[in-house]
Structure 1
Amino acid sequence: MEEKVAERSASFHFDFNINIELPFAFQLEEAVCSYGFFMMAPNQWDPLSKTLTRPLSSSSSLVSISQRSQTLAVRVHALSPQHQHQHQHQHQHQRHITSQICRMLRLSQAEEKAVMEFRSMTLDLPDRSFAGRVFRSPTLFEDMVKCILLCNCQWPRTLGMAQALCELQLELQNGLPHAVTVSGNAKVETEGFIPKTPAAKETRRKKVAKKGKLLKRKLEFEVDENSQMDSVLASGSNTTLLPTDNGNSEELCSDDSYHHQFPNGKDQYFDRTGNFPSPSELANLDESFLAKRCGLGYRAAYIIELARAIVEGKIQLEQLEKLSEDASLSNYKQLDDQLKQIKGFGPFTRANVLMCLGYYHVIPTDSETLRHLKQVHSRNTTLKNIEIDLEEIYGKYEPYQFLAFWSEIWDFYQTRFGKMNEMPSSDYKLITASNMRSTSEATKKRKRPSRKSQC
């Protein structure tokens, strides 16, 4: 495949294009704007140009992804001086980039099979915005951390924590003036590291914790001190779709999308956002520093322990990805058992991670699931009978129960908030439980005495 490599000013910019052939009926905006992860940093979706922009894992490359007919047009912007000599290994670099993009958009034979089977099962349903592809991250590690960020907080807080982690990664990359690592018993200082995100609202949780261990019972996480898994750093999942060259790469992808998002140039992205941190970048951080800097609260301990286990080779992400290639039920049990060994990975978090790995027969259950069953299916569901209700409603879509459930959720979101692919990023924070209540529910909620008055 031919690639165009062009030097851009003294800061060593090298741009080249990758073209990826797409399966029939694939639509980029449907594949990206299909799950909340696309709203989380460092992802940037531009509704005007219909372009996804983000840096990729283990790379100083920024990619912009758009669609031209049945071709995915990828513009790669390499922003490091080391890329001055990278053309010698360009093919390997392109394969690495393509693998991560295909993982995000689920462009593999196994995922395509799942999409087609699910669509054939739901022909009787009205047209929906959800087409059967669930957007995910370039790496399993980013998926796992983001699944942790989903727990026990509202969506604006989740968005804020993800943004703060990317801001921290940029600070780490540029060299922090403060001692923030635990190596050498360095003292951690957090002055000057104020998250640019909503303040943590965990005061009530701290008060409850003082009264006993009620907090631990309420948390979605299940803590288990034994983690006995082998591991190496994740690499992108293997796919059968490789870059292709049609001789029109310059026509297929332009810089117009960047002018929409970053009028001051591509460097503005990195100056403002940074990348999602890698396991090695988080492994040596002090827990209290990470909790305070990114507003993570108790989640900081789980994230740091996960990162350290990966770096030390106790958790093998590549092995987990390989086990999920055929999405068999026997492999699901094996993967679930391994995830149980990781501190902080309770049933809700594990179900979300396994969904990211391509297992769709288990629906993660939390308060949002209960709300949906009550609001859409008029079920007075509780945590005790939720599995029975889920089976009655979605069992006929086996093994794609989650896809059927999520198609309803996503359709409900579109009705409530408008088309997700057209929503400006400033409105993402409006997707909250209170804004999803019906008028009667909201009125009833306002009439209840506040928790503060009951204390």
Structure 2
Amino acid sequence: MMAAGLELVLPLGEAAETFQLEKAVCSHGLFMMAPNQWDPLSKTLLRPLRLLHSDTQSSVLVRISQHQCHPHSLHVRVYGTHSLSARHRQSLLAQVSRMLRLSESDERAVREFQNMCNIHGEEEHRAEDTSFSGRVFRSPTLFEDMVKCILLCNCQWSRTLSMARALCELQLELQSPSSPVSVAESGGSVTETRSAKSKSPKAEDEKLIPKTPTGKERKKNLKGSKVSSLLTKPGETIAELEANAHLSTASVQSKAENLSPIVLPINVEDVSCQNCKRCQATGESYKTCSALLLDQYSEGRESHAYDMVQNFPSPRELANLDESFLRERCNLGYRAKRILKLAQGIVEGRIQLAQLEEACNGASLSSYDKLSDQLKEIDGFGPFTRANVLMCMGFYHIIPTDSETIRHLRRVHARKSTLKTVERDAEHIYGKYAPFQFLAYWSELWNFYEKRFGKLSEMPCSDYTLITASNMKISTRGTDKRKKICD
């Protein structure tokens, strides 16, 4: 028996020949970051999506699946509602299409990259020989991509996951009228809010801080920089700016119409996850983490008179927060200032997300430099962050290089790369795949991850934090012992 809700169908069109949901989702670490929940057994993606262009801040929970009996379309089940306007349906399907890169230009890039791999005879890059097909998973909005690219910088993967989860927890708190954060937004000071929280029991305080290693951070020059006027359209009204940034204007306490309590499926065998430590810890070993998320959603809707779906925060939800509160609440470190400035720039209309995405249509090399220059003027967007954001926008000829790239080139290609030479070395190795150098590199790196950790689409969510540099190291102790024995 299926859960109550509305089911939308998204035809794959020409992409049906190359598209597999499992490969499209489990193709980048972004799929592991909250609020995404991949179910390794039912091979479905569960996450909240916003009702864009709505007069509320409402989100709805959706489950995306590709049925074996209908492989040429995706099924998007929207929980908690039996009716949506045509505009809302179109908005939800557009967000799904963006996440899974289902546009004509995305499909063309996938086919060209796969043909290039066949020409070069590189088996490790062929779609049929690897879990990576040429589609790189991304977020439903550019803002979420930009923030998550900031979270990727200068920290362990476990902390990146923790910061993303904390931001989603904060977003849920912002929806609650009784939340100290919500009270602060509606008139109380954040300082008063933090003082009130300090009086609460220790157990409550501990819930607010992600329990992950802090890790070392380099001190950054956090001097503010002006945002380019190229990012702003002169003469726009506030309403146009909000529509451009896909922001809603009503209070976070507003209730969307036509939403009803969710009904969970009676038969949960198709969403079982016996290997998930989180499920075992809660005594719900027969459910996936995504099933637990459905439980939380259901409980929240039954106990409150307003909609509570834990989503990634929007620019408007973050823009008015106190920097020190955001930093401490989500353990963001120096990133809090950068995320806050980004959100404020969008809300104030100085950063035009829609204009940025329109400029990358077709992902021409000439538009890359222009977009990179515009992103450079946003505080905190250095070369690595910019390259990752532009990759999310569809540019694949530049490889975002960091210590992981150096480690990979040394291990797989025996290159003695350094921070000064890594870009040149990467171009020498992957230049033959132009303009898809990143896809070739990422296919190789993703394949290496799976050889080390197993198929990532089958990994329980409780094990995501195991993907660290220390666990990447290949032990040589056995080799040393054998040498001693031979001697």
Smaller-chain TM-score bracket? 0.7 to 0.9
Q: Give the Cα separation in 1 of the matches to 2:227 and 2:270.
A: 44
The answer to whether 1:65 aligns with 2:93 is no
The answer to whether 1:286 aligns with 2:328 is no
- Structure 2 unpaired stretches of 5+: 52-57, 124-128, 199-203, 233-240, 248-266, 273-286, 301-307, 481-487
Range 346-355 or range 381-390, more displaced: 381-390
The answer to whether 1:393 aligns with 2:429 is yes
Shift of residue 57, structure 1, vs aligned partner: 2.6
2:136 alignment counterpart: 134
Q: Give the Cα separation in 2 of the matches to 1:426 and 1:109.
A: 35
- SS of the counterpart of 1:61? strand
1:305 alignment counterpart: 341
Shift of residue 29, structure 1, vs aligned partner: 0.1
Q: Give the Cα separation in 1 of the matches to 2:323 and 2:131.
A: 41
1:155 alignment counterpart: 157
* Matching residue's letter, 1:95: Q
The answer to whether 1:21 aligns with 2:24 is no
Q: Give the Cα separation in 2 of the matches to 1:425 and 1:95.
A: 30
1:276-321: per-residue Cα shift (whole Å, max 9, x none)?
Answer: 0111110111111111111111111100110011011110000011
Tell me, yes or no, if the aligned pair for 2:384 and 2:401 is still in contact at 8 Å: yes
Q: Alignment length, in residue pairs?
A: 396
Tell me, yes or no, if the aligned pair for 1:164 and 1:294 is still in contact at 8 Å: yes
2:180 alignment counterpart: 177
Shift of residue 116, structure 1, vs aligned partner: 0.3
Q: Give the Cα separation in 1 of the matches to 2:168 and 2:423.
A: 36
Closer/same/farther in 2, CA of residues 73 and 442 from structure 1, 3 Å limit: farther
Q: Give the Cα separation in 2 of the matches to 1:268 and 1:76.
A: 16
1:201 alignment counterpart: 214
* Matching residue's letter, 2:21: L
Shift of residue 60, structure 1, vs aligned partner: 2.1
Tell me, yes or no, if the aligned pair for 1:258 and 1:266 is still in contact at 8 Å: no
The answer to whether 1:433 aligns with 2:469 is yes
Q: Give the Cα separation in 1 of the matches to 2:212 and 2:187.
A: 28
Tell me, yes or no, if the aligned pair for 1:51 and 1:257 is still in contact at 8 Å: no
Closer/same/farther in 2, CA of residues 378 and 267 from structure 1, 3 Å limit: same
Tell me, yes or no, if the aligned pair for 1:416 and 1:436 is still in contact at 8 Å: yes
Closer/same/farther in 2, CA of residues 60 and 376 from structure 1, 3 Å limit: same
Q: Give the Cα separation in 1 of the matches to 2:477 and 2:111.
A: 38
Q: Could you state the TM-score of these two structures normalised by the residue count of structure 2?
A: 0.76
Which of these residues, 36, 40, 48, is aligned with residue 55 of structure 1?
Answer: 48
Q: Give the Cα separation in 1 of the matches to 2:325 and 2:477.
A: 40
- SS of the counterpart of 2:75? strand
Q: Give the Cα separation in 2 of the matches to 1:61 and 1:255.
A: 21
Closer/same/farther in 2, CA of residues 186 and 149 from structure 1, 3 Å limit: closer
Tell me, yes or no, if the aligned pair for 1:180 and 1:286 is still in contact at 8 Å: no
Shift of residue 61, structure 1, vs aligned partner: 1.1
Tell me, yes or no, if the aligned pair for 1:132 and 1:403 is still in contact at 8 Å: yes
Q: Deviating runs (4+, > 6 A) in structure 1? A: 441-444
Range 379-388 or range 349-358, more displaced: 379-388
Q: Give the Cα separation in 1 of the matches to 2:11 and 2:477.
A: 47
In percent, how many aligned pairs have the same letter? 55
* Matching residue's letter, 2:180: P
1:225 alignment counterpart: 225
Tell me, yes or no, if the aligned pair for 1:52 and 1:66 is still in contact at 8 Å: yes
Shift of residue 196, structure 1, vs aligned partner: 5.1
Closer/same/farther in 2, CA of residues 408 and 442 from structure 1, 3 Å limit: farther
The answer to whether 1:374 aligns with 2:410 is yes
1:111 alignment counterpart: 106
1:55-110: per-residue Cα shift (whole Å, max 9, x none)?
Answer: 013442110001012221111113xxxx68xx4x6211110000000000000000
Shift of residue 234, structure 1, vs aligned partner: 3.4
Shift of residue 31, structure 1, vs aligned partner: 0.1
* Matching residue's letter, 2:97: C
* Matching residue's letter, 1:234: A
- SS of the counterpart of 2:220? helix
Closer/same/farther in 2, CA of residues 199 and 414 from structure 1, 3 Å limit: closer
1:104-125: per-residue Cα shift (whole Å, max 9, x none)?
Answer: 0000000000000000011111
Tell me, yes or no, if the aligned pair for 2:42 and 2:271 is still in contact at 8 Å: no
The answer to whether 1:422 aligns with 2:458 is yes
Q: Could you state the TM-score of these two structures normalised by the residue count of structure 1?
A: 0.81
Tell me, yes or no, if the aligned pair for 1:57 and 1:278 is still in contact at 8 Å: no
Which of these residues, 363, 372, 394, is aligned with residue 399 of structure 2?
Answer: 363
Q: Give the Cα separation in 1 of the matches to 2:349 and 2:387.
A: 23
Q: Give the Cα separation in 2 of the matches to 1:264 and 1:65.
A: 16
Which of these residues, 117, 122, 125, is aligned with residue 125 of structure 1?
Answer: 122
1:242-271: per-residue Cα shift (whole Å, max 9, x none)?
Answer: xxxxxxxxxxxx987567436578352475
Closer/same/farther in 2, CA of residues 223 and 325 from structure 1, 3 Å limit: farther
* Matching residue's letter, 2:94: S
Range 100-109 or range 119-128, more displaced: 119-128
Shift of residue 186, structure 1, vs aligned partner: 4.8
